[in-house]
Amino acid sequence: MPVYVEVALPVPLRRNFSYRVAEKHVSALAVGLRVKVPFGRQQLIGLITAITDQCDLAENQIKNITQVLDTQAILPDALYKLTLWAARYYFTSQGQMLSQALPVALRKGADTAPQEITQYCLTSQGQAAQVSMLNRAPAQKKLFDDLKDHPLTHDEFVSLEYSKAALKALEDKGWVERKARTITIDLSWRQQLDITETPHKLNKQQAVAVSILNQQQGFNCSLLEGVTGSGKTEVYLSVLEAILKQGKQALILVPEIGLTPQTINRFKRRFAVNIAVIHSGLTDNQRLDAWRQARSGQAAIIIGTRSALFTPMLFPGIIILDEEHDASFKQQEGVRYHARDLAVMRGHYEDIPVILGTATPSLETLQNAISGRYHHLTLGERAGAAQKVKQGIIDITNQPLKNGMSSSLINEMRMHLDAGNQVLLFLNRRGFAPALLCHECGHLHECDRCDAFFTVHQGLNEICCHHCGNQYAIPKQCHQCGSTMLMGHGLGTEQLEQALTTLFPTYPVVRIDRDTTRRKGSLEKQLHGIHKGEYKILVGTQMLAKGHHFPDVTLVGLLDVDGALFSADFRAPERFGQLYTQVSGRAGRADKPGKVLLQTHQSDNVLLRSLLRQGYGDFAREQLKERQLAQLPPAWHMILIRAEAHSAADADAFLTKVSQLLPQDKAFEIIGPIPAPLDRKAGKYRRQLMFQAKTRQRLQLEFEKILNLIEQLPETKKCRWSIDRDPQDLM
């Protein structure tokens, strides 16, 4: 009897594909194995999702699989099920979702678990050789000396950048040989856990949280809500100790690894175990290596960003997601999955606990905590001796500003600096100025491909569009009137840094934003300088708001928050509340009291007042009520359908057709098609359609019903479109 398989392939078509299996491959088949198959003119790698003895296709249409790549399922059952669930939830193909879950090297066909690795070592002839013979060949000498200490694996050889020519020369001399070493997996941490640092004595709230978390068996989810500096990381470490002692692994997800080297070091300091760190800066091979270590159980702790969510564990114990409110957990292109939501789902499939930690819970998570679906644990006080922050509003209406700073702010800064402390200024706009203005005719220079102004980067002598990356040298003349009187309009971090250097010549300034941290290692260097007190004034964008501890910062100033208060996005107030709370959390961490000053033209703004008066917790609860009234997420459920095209009419026509397919009754609401907040980007017009439903189930079912019809609309040929479930950003 012929045998067929269904294969999930990483292609946009929302379906799987049938292939026939030749006799010789039949015995090796199982669901979850990778196979290589012909697809059009290419060979693609996909996963078997089903094995059958019949197929709807005609015999001459069906092709044979080329090769079976694995002997056992590449993903553990729970992860495999998670990806299938996610494919359905995010309305994408199983193949697309599965390929999100696999490291690139595996998608290209790499071996999941090599049995052996290549190692270079000295031969007995090499051991006895005279190193002085190599005095005129420094590259050979270096390699020789290092091999004398210990053999090198091929990966080490490559990553430490030894010379290939030197290796060959030493091999030719008969001094060095290659050996294949079988890989052994070290699981000794499961028997004997070494704790390499004495933990803090937990305060009462921490102790309560830890004891509740330690009682959890199987799947459940907890929100650990603790103000910045209240000792959440300390709670994670405590819980981790218990998990590791049971011989189980922990997966820890963080927003951006580059931004939190200190947090990772705390895990490394506490436990003498293998820690796999997974982030976008790794090479494909390094990433595969981390993946293997996690899957084999050798890595006891896995720390990573969004995509590390899919890392398999042999002994799954717990998932911790830190800064759960952070927008970077939502993927913004391709499959737009949310790592927080999938982490909870994974906990469910693995039957292990999940902890979501933050000072400023997202409204989604808060709602789950309030309704009792999640345990709600709170840390209300700052750990150690840290004191509460004082806050104030500076009304800058009609006030003279010096490079965006009012005189009250400048005076306050001087006081804190003269007292020997550090000051942090927050401005969420990088570059020198957010626009280039002609002083004679008032023309603002706009990107030719987007509905957006060019940002001026003086240091680079460039104007640059932050939406499409378009860049030019700063023009000498106005594009409209030819005048040479061009000037930056508005304030960016680069300009602020410059102004502060003049204003406070004796206090060194450091700027932290995407522009100053692009080079590898530069952020670490800057953070190090801040901690050593080399810098007194810190200027930065929201990169500065994430997870850092600056014990000597006693004053935080937010220069311009008016933009954040008036955004078109319904999540804007929530985001602002989080940002404000996170930024102000940087002040006064240790034994020094902190102060936060906020400059605004909107000092009576209701939202602002309520945030400052009640703090984030109550503010967020109020927001939640408003979302309920407005039938917005998380009360209702949303899908955003985006379309972009060279002509706006094409995008509109497509979305209009889609809106006619959508169900219309009391449990649904359709908004649009409307222009996206950034109407034109990189030369394309962007339109969107919002589809909201009262219940998640109906949203799922109704949308599934029409998905096929949408795909078949002739209008799809004239635009690019995508589905964003639970959108986080309406841009």
Please give the annotated binding residues, written as ranges.
438, 441, 447, 450, 465, 468, 478, 481
Give the whole-angstrom CA distance, residue 645 versus residue 717.
10
The answer to whether the beta carbons of residues 441 and 478 sit under 8 Å apart is yes
Shortest distance (Å) from residue 548 CB to ligand ADP: 10
Query: Which of residues 232 and 348 has its CB atom nearest to ligand ADP in the complex?
Result: 232
The answer to whether the beta carbons of residues 310 and 104 sit under 8 Å apart is no
Query: Which of residues 443 and 621 has its CB atom nearest to Zn ion in the complex?
Result: 443
Shortest distance (Å) from residue 240 CB to ligand ADP: 12
Which listed option, Zn ion, ligand ADP, none, makes contact with residue 384 (CB within 5 to 8 Å by class)?
ligand ADP
Q: Report helix, strand or coil for 376.
A: strand
Give the whole-angstrom CA distance, residue 275 versus residue 299.
5
Q: Using the rule CB under 6 A, is 226 a contact of ligand ADP?
A: yes
The answer to whether the beta carbons of residues 246 and 170 sit under 8 Å apart is no
Which listed option, ligand ADP, Zn ion, none, makes contact with residue 24 (CB within 5 to 8 Å by class)?
none
**Helices (runs of H) and strands (runs of E) counted in the chain:** 22, 30
Which range, of 338-346, 436-444, 539-547, 579-587, touches Zn ion by CB under 5 A? 436-444
Which range, of 196-204, 472-480, 554-562, 671-679, touches ligand ADP by CB under 6 A? 196-204
Which range, of 131-139, 225-233, 240-248, 713-721, touches ligand ADP by CB under 6 A? 225-233
- Which residues make Cβ contacts (< 8 Å) with residue 527, sequence separation at least 6? 261, 262, 548
Query: Which of residues 237 and 437 has its CB atom nearest to Zn ion in the complex?
Result: 437
Residues from 453 through 472 that contact Zn ion (CB under 5 A): 465, 467-468, 470
Give the whole-angstrom CA distance, residue 588 versus residue 390.
10
Which listed option, Zn ion, ligand ADP, none, makes contact with residue 202 (CB within 5 to 8 Å by class)?
ligand ADP
Which range, of 120-128, 201-209, 613-621, 702-710, touches ligand ADP by CB under 6 A? 201-209
Please give the radius of gyration of the chain, using alpha carbons only, rounded to the nearest integer: 29
Which range, of 106-114, 222-230, 474-482, 508-516, touches Zn ion by CB under 5 A? 474-482
Give the whole-angstrom CA distance, residue 607 versus residue 617.
13
Query: Which of residues 384 and 634 has its CB atom nearest to ligand ADP in the complex?
Result: 384
Q: Using the rule CB under 6 A, is 200 a contact of ligand ADP?
A: yes
Q: Using the rule CB under 6 A, is 229 a contact of ligand ADP?
A: yes
DSSP string covering 93-126, please? -HHHHHHHHS-HHHHTT--SS-SEEEEEEE-HHH
Query: Which of residues 461 and 483 has its CB atom nearest to Zn ion in the complex?
Result: 483
Which listed option, ligand ADP, Zn ion, none, makes contact with residue 312 (CB within 5 to 8 Å by class)?
none
Q: Report helix, strand or coil for 616.
A: helix
Give the whole-angstrom CA distance, residue 122 versus residue 223.
55
Q: How far is CA 399 from the centre of its chain?
A: 39
Residues from 362 through 391 that contact ligand ADP (CB under 6 A): 383-384
Give the whole-angstrom CA distance, residue 110 versus residue 338.
27
Joined together, the tokens standing for residue 520 give: 């590898």
Joined together, the tokens standing for residue 598 give: 């906020």
Query: Which of residues 210 and 641 has its CB atom nearest to ligand ADP in the complex?
Result: 210
User: Which residues are known binding-site members for Zn(2+)?
Assistant: 438, 441, 447, 450, 465, 468, 478, 481
CA distances (Å), 176 to each of 103, 123, 138, 147, 157, in order? 33, 5, 16, 9, 13
| Binder of ligand ADP out of 46, 103, 231, 490 (CB under 6 A) | 231
Give the whole-angstrom CA distance, residue 669 versus residue 690.
8
Give the whole-angstrom CA distance, residue 478 versus residue 247.
67
Q: How crowded is residue 57: how many other Cβ atoms within 10 Å of its Cβ?
A: 13
Give the whole-angstrom CA distance, residue 227 versus residue 582.
9
DSSP string covering 548-614, please? ---TTEEEEEE---HHHHT-SSTTHHHHHHHHHHHHHTTSS-SSS--EEEEEES-TT-HHHHHHHHH
| Binder of Zn ion out of 438, 608, 611, 648 (CB under 5 A) | 438
Q: Using the rule CB under 5 A, is 486 a contact of Zn ion?
A: no
Which listed option, Zn ion, ligand ADP, none, makes contact with residue 450 (CB within 5 to 8 Å by class)?
Zn ion
| Binder of ligand ADP out of 49, 93, 233, 581 (CB under 6 A) | 233
E strand or H helix that includes residue 87: helix 77-89
The length of the chain is: 731
Q: Using the rule CB under 5 A, is 441 a contact of Zn ion?
A: yes
Residues from 557 through 576 that contact Zn ion (CB under 5 A): none
Report how many residues bind Zn ion under the rule CB under 5 A: 15
Q: How far is CA 530 from the centre of its chain?
A: 24
Shortest distance (Å) from residue 536 CB to ligand ADP: 21
Which listed option, Zn ion, ligand ADP, none, makes contact with residue 468 (CB within 5 to 8 Å by class)?
Zn ion
| Binder of ligand ADP out of 6, 225, 234, 381 (CB under 6 A) | 234
Which listed option, Zn ion, ligand ADP, none, makes contact with residue 726 (CB within 5 to 8 Å by class)?
none
Q: What is the largest CA-CA distance in the chain?
A: 87
Query: Which of residues 422 and 692 has its CB atom nearest to ligand ADP in the complex?
Result: 422
Shortest distance (Å) from residue 465 CB to Zn ion: 3
Which listed option, ligand ADP, Zn ion, none, makes contact with residue 606 (CB within 5 to 8 Å by class)?
none
DSSP string covering 232-269, please? HHHHHHHHHHHHHHTT-EEEEE-S-GGG-HHHHHHHHH
Q: Using the rule CB under 6 A, is 228 a contact of ligand ADP?
A: yes
Query: Which of residues 152 and 645 has its CB atom nearest to Zn ion in the complex?
Result: 645
Query: Which of residues 226 and 573 has its CB atom nearest to ligand ADP in the complex?
Result: 226
Shortest distance (Å) from residue 266 CB to ligand ADP: 7
With CA atoms as reference, report the closest residue to 597 among 406, 454, 433.
406
Dihedral over Cα of 129, 132, 136, 137: its sign: positive
Q: Using the rule CB under 6 A, is 232 a contact of ligand ADP?
A: yes
Q: Using the rule CB under 6 A, is 225 a contact of ligand ADP?
A: no
Shortest distance (Å) from residue 322 CB to ligand ADP: 8
Q: Using the rule CB under 5 A, is 449 a contact of Zn ion?
A: yes
The answer to whether the beta carbons of residues 59 and 19 sit under 8 Å apart is no
Residue ranges in contact with Zn ion by CB under 5 A: 438, 440-441, 443, 447, 449-450, 465, 467-468, 470, 478, 480-481, 483
Give contact residues for ligand ADP (rule: CB under 6 A): 200-203, 206, 226, 228-234, 383-384, 549
